[in-house]
A and B are shown apart, each in its own frame.
Chain A
Amino acid sequence: MTQSPTPADKTQEDDTRLNAMLDGAGVPEPSASLKRDILAAYDDVQQNRRGAFARVSGLFDRFQLASAAALAGVSVLGLTVGVLTANTGAALSPEDELYAYAEDGFDLAQLEDEELDQWARE
């Protein structure tokens, strides 16, 4: 004895039929130039990017040169100052040293006397 189809069987059958119908629906072929156009767009983007990179790179190169020149200038200046001031470090007398290190609040006269006495003793 055969059983009549249940609602679930009916739904499944409808689903199967719908799938078959959907599967049978084709898509028109795209035009032959589609892939070529897409590749051409790639070439354009790459060319623009290379152009932009070259501009940024040129700018960077210019700034790099400028910073190198500035560094060289500072070095030359430093060397010059060094050469010019090389002989200024003459030996100081105790008196000069005393004045050089004396600070406000010290009794300079007393310090002077003590130092000079000490020096005289030596």
Chain B
Amino acid sequence: MRLAGRGDRAAATLLIERHTDKIYAGCFRMLGERASAEDAAQETFLRLWKNAHRWKPQGAKFETWLYRVAMNYCLDQLRKSGREINEDAAPERADPAPGPADNYFAGEQSFAIAAALATLPDRQRLAITLCHFQELSNIEAAAIMEVSVEAVESLLARARRTLRDRLAPMKPYLTGTMSDDAITNTS
């Protein structure tokens, strides 16, 4: 990070290779759209480049800081677009192209889960994004969200309860237990 701040392009490239995919994925879980997630990832790195020369290793852990920038940007975007708890929000499908059954299930599952995530309040969505999808610990998520670990646990519990309720009717469909005939009928 310090090297990138001093103008070392190779160090910057390494940071991009290491962190872009994770940051993009986190932003996608929060925003539900590829284009918005890409914008968010770019904005996060732009803020990183602008502050790289001031980076001090004794401060917050680098990844925590990067996630905090990205997630705060996503929350800002959600607030600006007024999409919080929008039942009609239609997130982008991970794999919109129809194809073999595996792809079909994967695409539908991603779509249904993204739709369910989109209905969660922002902070719950953030908690589940960080702890489940980004596989961060509750302690790390708490540091990113700047709340206590207990608050993260509470947000997670509520988010999971809501997701369970919303995804319950889709269980047989999402777990791929429907017959091929049923798929044909629904498509």
Range of interface residues on B (Cβ < 8 Å): 35 or more
Question: Given the complex, which residues of A lie within 8 Å of B130, measured CB to CB?
Answer: none
> Given A21-B175, A42-B9, does the pair A28, B42 have CB atoms closer than 8 Å?
no
Query: What count of chain A residues pass the 8 Å CB interface test?
Result: 27
**Any A CB within 8 A of the CB of B4:** yes
A-B pair count, CB < 8 Å, reads: 94
What per-residue 1/0 map shows which CB atoms of A60-94 lie under 8 Å from chain B?
00000000000000000000000000000000000
Q: How far is it, in angstroms, between the C-alpha of A50 and the C-alpha of B6 when the chains are bound?
A: 10
Instruction: Tell me whether A34 is interfacial, beta carbon within 8 Å.
Output: yes
Contact among A31, A34, A42 for B4, CB-based, below 8 A: A42
- B residues near A (Cβ < 8 Å) are 4, 7, 9, 12-13, 16-17, 20-21, 24-25, 28-29, 34, 37-38, 41-42, 45-46, 49-50, 53, 92-95, 106, 109-110, 113-114, 128, 132-133, 160, 163-164, 167, 171, 174-175
* 4 closest cross-chain pairs (CB), A and B: A25-B113, A26-B94, A45-B49, A25-B110
